[in-house]
Amino acid sequence: MFACGQLRETGSWMDVFNPYTNERVDSTPRDGPAEVFEAIAATKPTRQLNPERRKAILCGASNELRSRADEFALLITKESGLCIKDSRKEVERAANNLLVAAEESVRIHGEALQVPAGQASKLAVTLREPVGLICAITPFNRPLNQVAVKLGPALAAGNNVILKPSAKTPLTAIALAQLIIRNGLPASMLSIVNGDPQEIGPPLVGSPDVDMIAFTGSIETGEAVARAAGAKKLLLELGGNDPLIVLDDADMRRAASLAADGAFANAGQSCRGIKRIIVLERIADELISRLAEETTAKRWGDPFDPATDVGPLIDAAAASTVKDRCDQAVRDGAQLVCGGGCEGALVEPTVLDRVPPNTELVARETFGPVAPVIRAFDDDEAVALANSTVYGLQAGIVTTSIDRFMRMANALRVGGVNLMDGPSFDSPYIPFGGVKRSGVGREGVRYAIHEMTNLKTITIPQTW
Protein backbone atom coordinates (compact mmCIF):
# COMPACT_ATOMS: atom_id res chain seq x y z
CA MET A 1 0.00 0.00 0.00
CA PHE A 2 2.95 2.29 0.71
CA ALA A 3 6.09 1.03 -1.05
CA CYS A 4 9.07 2.74 -2.67
CA GLY A 5 7.81 6.05 -1.28
CA GLN A 6 4.45 5.85 -3.07
CA LEU A 7 0.87 5.24 -1.97
CA ARG A 8 -0.57 2.59 -4.27
CA GLU A 9 -4.21 1.87 -4.94
CA THR A 10 -5.26 -1.75 -4.49
CA GLY A 11 -8.85 -1.55 -5.74
CA SER A 12 -10.20 -1.81 -2.21
CA TRP A 13 -10.36 0.80 0.55
CA MET A 14 -10.52 1.00 4.35
CA ASP A 15 -12.17 3.93 6.08
CA VAL A 16 -10.67 5.57 9.16
CA PHE A 17 -13.21 7.03 11.62
CA ASN A 18 -12.91 9.57 14.40
CA PRO A 19 -13.93 7.77 17.63
CA TYR A 20 -15.59 10.86 19.12
CA THR A 21 -17.69 12.06 16.18
CA ASN A 22 -17.82 8.74 14.30
CA GLU A 23 -17.14 10.75 11.13
CA ARG A 24 -14.88 9.41 8.40
CA VAL A 25 -11.45 11.02 8.58
CA ASP A 26 -9.97 9.48 5.45
CA SER A 27 -9.53 6.21 3.58
CA THR A 28 -6.46 4.12 2.81
CA PRO A 29 -5.91 1.33 0.30
CA ARG A 30 -6.73 -2.09 1.74
CA ASP A 31 -3.96 -4.64 1.28
CA GLY A 32 -4.25 -8.36 0.82
CA PRO A 33 -1.65 -11.13 0.62
CA ALA A 34 -0.60 -10.03 -2.90
CA GLU A 35 0.31 -6.55 -1.64
CA VAL A 36 2.17 -8.09 1.31
CA PHE A 37 4.35 -10.14 -1.04
CA GLU A 38 4.89 -7.05 -3.20
CA ALA A 39 5.95 -5.00 -0.17
CA ILE A 40 8.36 -7.70 0.99
CA ALA A 41 9.93 -7.86 -2.47
CA ALA A 42 10.22 -4.07 -2.59
CA THR A 43 11.81 -3.81 0.87
CA LYS A 44 14.45 -6.52 0.74
CA PRO A 45 17.76 -5.29 2.16
CA THR A 46 20.23 -4.38 -0.56
CA ARG A 47 22.88 -1.99 0.71
CA GLN A 48 23.57 -0.37 4.06
CA LEU A 49 23.68 3.30 4.84
CA ASN A 50 26.72 4.36 6.83
CA PRO A 51 26.08 5.45 10.43
CA GLU A 52 26.61 9.15 9.71
CA ARG A 53 23.94 9.05 6.99
CA ARG A 54 21.49 7.28 9.29
CA LYS A 55 22.11 9.90 11.96
CA ALA A 56 21.48 12.76 9.52
CA ILE A 57 18.22 11.20 8.31
CA LEU A 58 16.87 10.63 11.81
CA CYS A 59 17.97 14.07 13.03
CA GLY A 60 16.24 15.69 10.07
CA ALA A 61 13.08 13.67 10.69
CA SER A 62 13.06 14.65 14.36
CA ASN A 63 13.47 18.34 13.54
CA GLU A 64 10.77 18.32 10.88
CA LEU A 65 8.37 16.47 13.17
CA ARG A 66 8.82 19.17 15.82
CA SER A 67 8.24 21.91 13.24
CA ARG A 68 4.98 20.23 12.20
CA ALA A 69 3.83 19.39 15.73
CA ASP A 70 0.39 21.00 15.45
CA GLU A 71 -0.35 19.22 12.17
CA PHE A 72 0.62 15.81 13.52
CA ALA A 73 -1.17 16.37 16.86
CA LEU A 74 -4.41 17.17 15.05
CA LEU A 75 -4.09 14.05 12.89
CA ILE A 76 -3.48 11.88 15.97
CA THR A 77 -6.60 13.26 17.67
CA LYS A 78 -8.70 12.85 14.53
CA GLU A 79 -7.97 9.17 14.04
CA SER A 80 -7.45 7.96 17.63
CA GLY A 81 -9.50 10.29 19.83
CA LEU A 82 -6.49 11.12 22.01
CA CYS A 83 -7.01 14.48 23.72
CA ILE A 84 -5.31 17.23 21.75
CA LYS A 85 -3.12 18.32 24.66
CA ASP A 86 -1.88 14.73 24.97
CA SER A 87 -1.41 14.44 21.20
CA ARG A 88 1.03 17.36 21.40
CA LYS A 89 2.97 15.45 24.07
CA GLU A 90 2.88 12.41 21.81
CA VAL A 91 4.57 14.36 19.02
CA GLU A 92 7.28 15.57 21.38
CA ARG A 93 7.92 12.03 22.64
CA ALA A 94 8.17 10.69 19.10
CA ALA A 95 10.54 13.46 18.01
CA ASN A 96 12.72 12.76 21.04
CA ASN A 97 12.79 9.04 20.28
CA LEU A 98 13.95 9.75 16.73
CA LEU A 99 16.64 12.12 18.02
CA VAL A 100 17.97 9.58 20.52
CA ALA A 101 17.96 6.96 17.77
CA ALA A 102 20.03 9.35 15.66
CA GLU A 103 22.53 9.73 18.48
CA GLU A 104 22.77 5.98 19.05
CA SER A 105 23.19 5.16 15.36
CA VAL A 106 26.88 6.16 15.57
CA ARG A 107 27.46 4.28 18.85
CA ILE A 108 26.76 0.74 17.69
CA HIS A 109 29.86 -1.28 18.45
CA GLY A 110 31.11 -4.62 19.64
CA GLU A 111 34.16 -5.44 21.72
CA ALA A 112 37.61 -7.02 21.50
CA LEU A 113 38.40 -10.08 23.64
CA GLN A 114 41.66 -11.95 24.15
CA VAL A 115 40.95 -15.68 24.02
CA PRO A 116 43.59 -18.21 25.05
CA ALA A 117 43.47 -21.12 22.60
CA GLY A 118 46.02 -23.70 23.63
CA GLN A 119 49.52 -22.49 22.92
CA ALA A 120 48.39 -19.90 20.35
CA SER A 121 46.16 -17.17 21.74
CA LYS A 122 43.62 -15.37 19.60
CA LEU A 123 41.93 -12.04 19.52
CA ALA A 124 38.13 -12.21 19.20
CA VAL A 125 36.28 -9.21 17.82
CA THR A 126 32.49 -8.90 18.00
CA LEU A 127 30.51 -6.80 15.53
CA ARG A 128 26.85 -5.78 15.51
CA GLU A 129 25.19 -6.08 12.12
CA PRO A 130 21.63 -5.26 11.01
CA VAL A 131 19.16 -8.13 11.33
CA GLY A 132 17.91 -7.41 7.80
CA LEU A 133 14.18 -7.00 7.17
CA ILE A 134 12.09 -6.22 10.25
CA CYS A 135 8.32 -6.44 10.37
CA ALA A 136 7.05 -3.84 12.88
CA ILE A 137 3.45 -4.18 14.09
CA THR A 138 2.02 -1.30 16.14
CA PRO A 139 -1.26 -0.70 18.04
CA PHE A 140 -3.84 2.08 17.92
CA ASN A 141 -3.27 3.67 21.31
CA ARG A 142 -0.06 5.55 20.44
CA PRO A 143 -0.35 5.96 16.65
CA LEU A 144 2.78 8.12 16.35
CA ASN A 145 5.10 7.27 19.21
CA GLN A 146 4.66 3.50 18.95
CA VAL A 147 5.69 3.79 15.30
CA ALA A 148 8.68 5.99 16.18
CA VAL A 149 9.71 3.54 18.92
CA LYS A 150 9.92 0.79 16.30
CA LEU A 151 11.25 2.72 13.30
CA GLY A 152 13.87 4.79 15.13
CA PRO A 153 16.02 1.92 16.46
CA ALA A 154 15.40 -0.28 13.40
CA LEU A 155 16.62 2.38 10.97
CA ALA A 156 19.42 3.50 13.29
CA ALA A 157 20.74 -0.07 13.17
CA GLY A 158 20.61 -0.13 9.36
CA ASN A 159 17.60 -2.40 8.91
CA ASN A 160 14.84 -2.28 6.32
CA VAL A 161 11.30 -2.19 7.74
CA ILE A 162 7.81 -3.24 6.74
CA LEU A 163 5.37 -1.50 9.07
CA LYS A 164 1.87 -2.73 9.79
CA PRO A 165 0.08 -0.09 11.87
CA SER A 166 -3.31 -0.63 13.45
CA ALA A 167 -6.02 -0.53 10.79
CA LYS A 168 -7.85 1.92 13.08
CA THR A 169 -4.99 4.46 13.05
CA PRO A 170 -2.86 4.14 9.89
CA LEU A 171 -2.84 7.80 8.83
CA THR A 172 -0.24 9.05 11.29
CA ALA A 173 2.05 6.13 10.43
CA ILE A 174 1.87 6.95 6.72
CA ALA A 175 2.59 10.63 7.41
CA LEU A 176 5.64 9.74 9.54
CA ALA A 177 6.98 7.35 6.88
CA GLN A 178 6.65 10.05 4.23
CA LEU A 179 8.44 12.51 6.52
CA ILE A 180 11.38 10.14 7.14
CA ILE A 181 11.76 9.40 3.42
CA ARG A 182 11.66 13.12 2.65
CA ASN A 183 14.62 13.52 5.02
CA GLY A 184 16.79 11.17 2.98
CA LEU A 185 15.86 7.57 3.79
CA PRO A 186 15.96 5.52 0.57
CA ALA A 187 12.33 4.71 -0.26
CA SER A 188 13.17 1.02 -0.67
CA MET A 189 14.01 0.76 3.04
CA LEU A 190 10.49 1.37 4.38
CA SER A 191 7.09 0.04 3.34
CA ILE A 192 3.65 0.02 5.00
CA VAL A 193 0.88 -2.53 4.65
CA ASN A 194 -2.64 -1.98 5.97
CA GLY A 195 -5.54 -4.41 6.02
CA ASP A 196 -7.39 -7.10 7.94
CA PRO A 197 -4.87 -8.57 10.43
CA GLN A 198 -6.32 -12.05 9.95
CA GLU A 199 -5.73 -11.77 6.21
CA ILE A 200 -2.35 -10.08 5.94
CA GLY A 201 -0.77 -11.02 9.28
CA PRO A 202 0.14 -14.67 8.60
CA PRO A 203 1.85 -14.14 5.21
CA LEU A 204 3.66 -11.11 6.60
CA VAL A 205 5.11 -12.56 9.79
CA GLY A 206 5.53 -16.04 8.29
CA SER A 207 7.51 -14.93 5.25
CA PRO A 208 11.00 -16.47 5.09
CA ASP A 209 12.25 -13.11 3.79
CA VAL A 210 11.28 -11.36 7.07
CA ASP A 211 14.10 -11.69 9.59
CA MET A 212 12.52 -10.27 12.76
CA ILE A 213 9.16 -9.31 14.25
CA ALA A 214 8.80 -6.28 16.55
CA PHE A 215 5.25 -6.31 17.92
CA THR A 216 3.22 -4.35 20.46
CA GLY A 217 -0.27 -5.56 21.33
CA SER A 218 -2.25 -8.07 23.34
CA ILE A 219 -0.96 -11.35 24.76
CA GLU A 220 -3.29 -13.38 22.56
CA THR A 221 -2.25 -11.65 19.33
CA GLY A 222 1.42 -11.64 20.31
CA GLU A 223 1.42 -15.36 20.93
CA ALA A 224 -0.30 -15.95 17.58
CA VAL A 225 2.36 -13.79 15.92
CA ALA A 226 5.12 -15.79 17.60
CA ARG A 227 3.62 -19.08 16.41
CA ALA A 228 3.29 -17.81 12.84
CA ALA A 229 6.81 -16.31 12.86
CA GLY A 230 8.55 -19.54 13.74
CA ALA A 231 12.33 -19.37 14.21
CA LYS A 232 12.75 -15.60 13.87
CA LYS A 233 14.02 -12.98 16.26
CA LEU A 234 11.15 -11.56 18.31
CA LEU A 235 10.69 -8.32 20.24
CA LEU A 236 7.25 -8.54 21.85
CA GLU A 237 5.62 -5.97 24.14
CA LEU A 238 2.39 -7.66 25.21
CA GLY A 239 0.79 -5.24 27.62
CA GLY A 240 0.50 -5.04 31.36
CA ASN A 241 -1.74 -4.93 34.39
CA ASP A 242 0.42 -2.39 36.13
CA PRO A 243 -0.06 -1.63 39.83
CA LEU A 244 0.51 1.53 41.80
CA ILE A 245 1.28 0.45 45.38
CA VAL A 246 0.60 3.04 48.08
CA LEU A 247 2.15 2.42 51.50
CA ASP A 248 1.06 3.91 54.81
CA ASP A 249 3.90 6.46 54.99
CA ALA A 250 3.01 7.95 51.60
CA ASP A 251 2.15 11.54 50.79
CA MET A 252 -1.57 11.01 50.18
CA ARG A 253 -1.98 14.03 47.95
CA ARG A 254 0.83 12.92 45.65
CA ALA A 255 -0.39 9.33 45.67
CA ALA A 256 -3.92 10.36 44.67
CA SER A 257 -2.60 12.61 41.92
CA LEU A 258 -0.37 9.85 40.54
CA ALA A 259 -3.25 7.37 40.69
CA ALA A 260 -5.68 9.61 38.81
CA ASP A 261 -3.20 10.74 36.18
CA GLY A 262 -1.91 7.22 35.61
CA ALA A 263 -5.33 5.59 35.40
CA PHE A 264 -6.99 8.17 33.15
CA ALA A 265 -4.22 9.29 30.77
CA ASN A 266 -5.05 8.40 27.15
CA ALA A 267 -8.49 7.35 28.45
CA GLY A 268 -6.77 4.46 30.20
CA GLN A 269 -5.57 3.01 26.89
CA SER A 270 -1.92 2.55 27.76
CA CYS A 271 0.03 -0.65 28.33
CA ARG A 272 1.93 0.94 31.20
CA GLY A 273 -0.97 2.94 32.62
CA ILE A 274 -2.19 2.22 36.13
CA LYS A 275 -4.60 -0.73 36.01
CA ARG A 276 -4.69 -1.48 39.75
CA ILE A 277 -4.21 0.70 42.83
CA ILE A 278 -3.06 -1.46 45.73
CA VAL A 279 -3.25 0.45 49.02
CA LEU A 280 -2.67 -0.56 52.63
CA GLU A 281 -5.95 -0.88 54.51
CA ARG A 282 -5.17 1.65 57.25
CA ILE A 283 -4.87 4.55 54.77
CA ALA A 284 -7.30 3.34 52.12
CA ASP A 285 -10.21 5.56 53.12
CA GLU A 286 -8.11 8.72 52.93
CA LEU A 287 -6.67 7.77 49.56
CA ILE A 288 -10.14 6.94 48.19
CA SER A 289 -11.45 10.33 49.31
CA ARG A 290 -8.59 12.22 47.66
CA LEU A 291 -8.75 10.05 44.53
CA ALA A 292 -12.47 10.78 44.16
CA GLU A 293 -11.73 14.52 44.31
CA GLU A 294 -9.04 14.18 41.64
CA THR A 295 -11.34 12.09 39.47
CA THR A 296 -14.40 14.32 39.56
CA ALA A 297 -12.16 17.25 38.59
CA LYS A 298 -11.20 15.47 35.34
CA ARG A 299 -13.05 16.83 32.35
CA TRP A 300 -14.21 14.18 29.90
CA GLY A 301 -15.67 14.58 26.44
CA ASP A 302 -14.51 16.38 23.29
CA PRO A 303 -10.84 15.49 22.63
CA PHE A 304 -10.41 18.56 20.41
CA ASP A 305 -11.09 20.86 23.39
CA PRO A 306 -7.72 21.76 25.00
CA ALA A 307 -9.41 21.64 28.43
CA THR A 308 -10.47 17.98 28.08
CA ASP A 309 -8.55 15.45 30.16
CA VAL A 310 -10.23 12.20 29.11
CA GLY A 311 -11.39 11.57 25.56
CA PRO A 312 -13.08 8.60 23.91
CA LEU A 313 -11.87 5.05 23.66
CA ILE A 314 -10.96 3.78 20.21
CA ASP A 315 -14.58 2.78 19.50
CA ALA A 316 -17.94 2.14 21.16
CA ALA A 317 -17.28 -1.60 21.40
CA ALA A 318 -14.18 -0.97 23.51
CA ALA A 319 -16.17 1.35 25.77
CA SER A 320 -18.89 -1.27 26.18
CA THR A 321 -16.28 -3.85 27.25
CA VAL A 322 -14.94 -1.51 29.93
CA LYS A 323 -18.45 -0.72 31.19
CA ASP A 324 -19.33 -4.41 31.34
CA ARG A 325 -16.21 -5.20 33.36
CA CYS A 326 -16.95 -2.39 35.82
CA ASP A 327 -20.53 -3.61 36.25
CA GLN A 328 -19.30 -7.17 36.80
CA ALA A 329 -16.79 -5.96 39.39
CA VAL A 330 -19.66 -4.32 41.32
CA ARG A 331 -21.66 -7.55 41.15
CA ASP A 332 -18.56 -9.34 42.48
CA GLY A 333 -18.44 -7.02 45.50
CA ALA A 334 -16.65 -3.81 44.44
CA GLN A 335 -18.08 -0.46 45.49
CA LEU A 336 -18.66 2.30 42.91
CA VAL A 337 -17.19 5.51 44.35
CA CYS A 338 -17.70 7.86 41.38
CA GLY A 339 -18.15 7.77 37.63
CA GLY A 340 -19.52 4.75 35.85
CA GLY A 341 -21.18 6.54 32.93
CA CYS A 342 -20.80 5.50 29.28
CA GLU A 343 -21.85 7.41 26.15
CA GLY A 344 -20.86 5.86 22.83
CA ALA A 345 -17.06 5.59 22.85
CA LEU A 346 -16.79 7.76 25.99
CA VAL A 347 -16.39 6.21 29.44
CA GLU A 348 -16.66 8.50 32.44
CA PRO A 349 -13.56 8.44 34.69
CA THR A 350 -14.47 5.85 37.31
CA VAL A 351 -13.21 4.89 40.77
CA LEU A 352 -14.06 1.53 42.33
CA ASP A 353 -13.15 0.52 45.90
CA ARG A 354 -12.73 -2.92 47.47
CA VAL A 355 -12.29 -4.53 44.08
CA PRO A 356 -11.93 -8.34 44.30
CA PRO A 357 -8.52 -9.32 42.88
CA ASN A 358 -10.03 -12.10 40.74
CA THR A 359 -12.70 -10.05 38.97
CA GLU A 360 -12.11 -9.63 35.24
CA LEU A 361 -11.60 -5.86 35.53
CA VAL A 362 -8.27 -6.36 37.33
CA ALA A 363 -7.40 -9.95 36.50
CA ARG A 364 -7.01 -8.95 32.83
CA GLU A 365 -5.65 -5.84 31.14
CA THR A 366 -8.52 -3.35 30.94
CA PHE A 367 -8.07 -0.49 28.47
CA GLY A 368 -10.27 2.24 29.91
CA PRO A 369 -10.37 5.20 32.36
CA VAL A 370 -10.94 3.16 35.49
CA ALA A 371 -9.12 3.39 38.85
CA PRO A 372 -9.77 0.08 40.68
CA VAL A 373 -8.64 0.10 44.32
CA ILE A 374 -7.59 -3.17 45.97
CA ARG A 375 -6.92 -3.12 49.71
CA ALA A 376 -3.98 -4.99 51.24
CA PHE A 377 -3.21 -5.77 54.90
CA ASP A 378 0.58 -5.22 54.72
CA ASP A 379 3.56 -4.91 52.37
CA ASP A 380 3.78 -8.65 51.77
CA GLU A 381 0.14 -8.92 50.75
CA ALA A 382 0.54 -5.88 48.48
CA VAL A 383 3.41 -7.62 46.66
CA ALA A 384 1.46 -10.87 46.44
CA LEU A 385 -1.51 -9.04 44.90
CA ALA A 386 0.73 -7.20 42.46
CA ASN A 387 2.30 -10.51 41.37
CA SER A 388 -1.02 -12.36 41.12
CA THR A 389 -1.68 -11.85 37.38
CA VAL A 390 -0.01 -13.27 34.27
CA TYR A 391 1.41 -9.82 33.49
CA GLY A 392 4.71 -8.33 34.64
CA LEU A 393 5.39 -5.03 32.89
CA GLN A 394 6.00 -2.17 35.35
CA ALA A 395 4.98 -0.99 38.81
CA GLY A 396 5.09 2.17 40.89
CA ILE A 397 5.49 2.45 44.66
CA VAL A 398 4.66 5.51 46.76
CA THR A 399 6.61 5.47 50.03
CA THR A 400 9.15 7.57 51.88
CA SER A 401 11.11 4.49 53.01
CA ILE A 402 13.89 3.42 50.66
CA ASP A 403 14.26 0.18 52.63
CA ARG A 404 10.63 -0.80 52.13
CA PHE A 405 10.82 0.22 48.49
CA MET A 406 13.90 -1.90 47.79
CA ARG A 407 12.42 -4.95 49.52
CA MET A 408 9.28 -4.67 47.45
CA ALA A 409 11.11 -3.83 44.22
CA ASN A 410 13.20 -7.00 44.59
CA ALA A 411 10.08 -9.08 45.22
CA LEU A 412 7.96 -7.74 42.37
CA ARG A 413 7.99 -9.83 39.18
CA VAL A 414 8.00 -6.98 36.68
CA GLY A 415 10.37 -5.41 34.17
CA GLY A 416 10.62 -2.06 35.97
CA VAL A 417 9.73 -0.46 39.31
CA ASN A 418 9.49 3.30 39.93
CA LEU A 419 9.80 5.00 43.32
CA MET A 420 7.45 7.94 43.98
CA ASP A 421 6.12 7.63 40.45
CA GLY A 422 3.60 5.57 38.53
CA PRO A 423 4.37 2.59 36.30
CA SER A 424 3.97 4.84 33.26
CA PHE A 425 7.35 6.55 33.66
CA ASP A 426 9.45 6.13 30.52
CA SER A 427 12.56 7.45 28.82
CA PRO A 428 14.20 6.52 25.50
CA TYR A 429 17.47 6.15 27.38
CA ILE A 430 16.41 3.25 29.65
CA PRO A 431 15.25 -0.31 28.93
CA PHE A 432 11.53 -1.03 28.80
CA GLY A 433 9.83 -4.42 28.69
CA GLY A 434 8.17 -7.05 30.78
CA VAL A 435 8.47 -10.50 32.29
CA LYS A 436 6.03 -13.40 32.46
CA ARG A 437 3.49 -12.97 29.63
CA SER A 438 4.12 -9.24 29.26
CA GLY A 439 6.69 -9.75 26.57
CA VAL A 440 10.07 -10.78 25.20
CA GLY A 441 13.06 -8.45 24.86
CA ARG A 442 13.53 -4.79 25.66
CA GLU A 443 12.69 -1.47 24.03
CA GLY A 444 14.38 1.84 24.85
CA VAL A 445 16.50 3.00 21.93
CA ARG A 446 19.91 1.53 22.76
CA TYR A 447 18.38 -1.70 24.02
CA ALA A 448 16.09 -2.04 21.01
CA ILE A 449 19.10 -1.55 18.72
CA HIS A 450 20.76 -4.50 20.44
CA GLU A 451 17.61 -6.55 19.82
CA MET A 452 17.55 -5.43 16.17
CA THR A 453 21.16 -6.39 15.41
CA ASN A 454 22.95 -9.72 15.11
CA LEU A 455 26.22 -10.32 16.91
CA LYS A 456 29.03 -11.62 14.72
CA THR A 457 32.30 -12.94 16.19
CA ILE A 458 35.59 -12.83 14.27
CA THR A 459 38.73 -14.48 15.62
CA ILE A 460 42.28 -13.55 14.61
CA PRO A 461 45.48 -15.39 15.60
CA GLN A 462 47.69 -13.18 17.72
CA THR A 463 50.79 -14.81 16.29
CA TRP A 464 51.33 -15.49 12.59
Nearest 10 degrees: Cα torsion 168, 170, 173, 178: -170
Nearest 10 degrees: Cα torsion 315, 316, 321, 326: 110
Length of the chain: 464
> Please, are residues 241 and 355 in contact by the beta-carbon 8 Å criterion?
no
As beta bridge partners, residue 370 has 350
Is 271 one of the catalytic residues? Answer: yes
Of the candidates 216, 238, 354, 382, which has an alpha carbon nearest to the alpha carbon of residue 285?
354
Of the candidates 60, 10, 70, 18, which has an alpha carbon nearest to the alpha carbon of residue 38?
10
The catalytically annotated residue of 38, 237, 294, 365 is 237
Of the candidates 132, 168, 144, 4, which has an alpha carbon nearest to the alpha carbon of residue 68?
144
Sequence-distant (6+) residues with CB within 8 A of 65 are 72, 91, 94, 95, 98, 176, 179
- 3-class DSSP state of 173: helix
DSSP 50: P
Listing DSSP states for 135-185 in one string gives: EEE--SSSTTHHHHHHHHHHHHTT-EEEEE--TTS-HHHHHHHHHHHHTT-
d(CA 58, CA 329): 47
> Please, are residues 177 and 122 in contact by the beta-carbon 8 Å criterion?
no
DSSP 267: G
> Please, are residues 16 and 166 in contact by the beta-carbon 8 Å criterion?
no
DSSP 31: P
Is 237 one of the catalytic residues? Answer: yes
> Please, are residues 267 and 323 in contact by the beta-carbon 8 Å criterion?
no
Instruction: Characterize 445-463 residue by residue with b for buried, 16 or more Cβ atoms within 10 angstroms of its Cβ, and e for exposed.
Output: bbbbbbbbbeeeeeeeeee
> Please, are residues 135 and 217 in contact by the beta-carbon 8 Å criterion?
no
Q: Please report, for the chain, how many H helices and E strands are present, in that order.
A: 15, 22
Listing DSSP states for 366-383 in one string gives: --SSEEEEEEESSHHHHH
- 3-class DSSP state of 440: strand
Q: Which residues are catalytic?
A: 237, 271
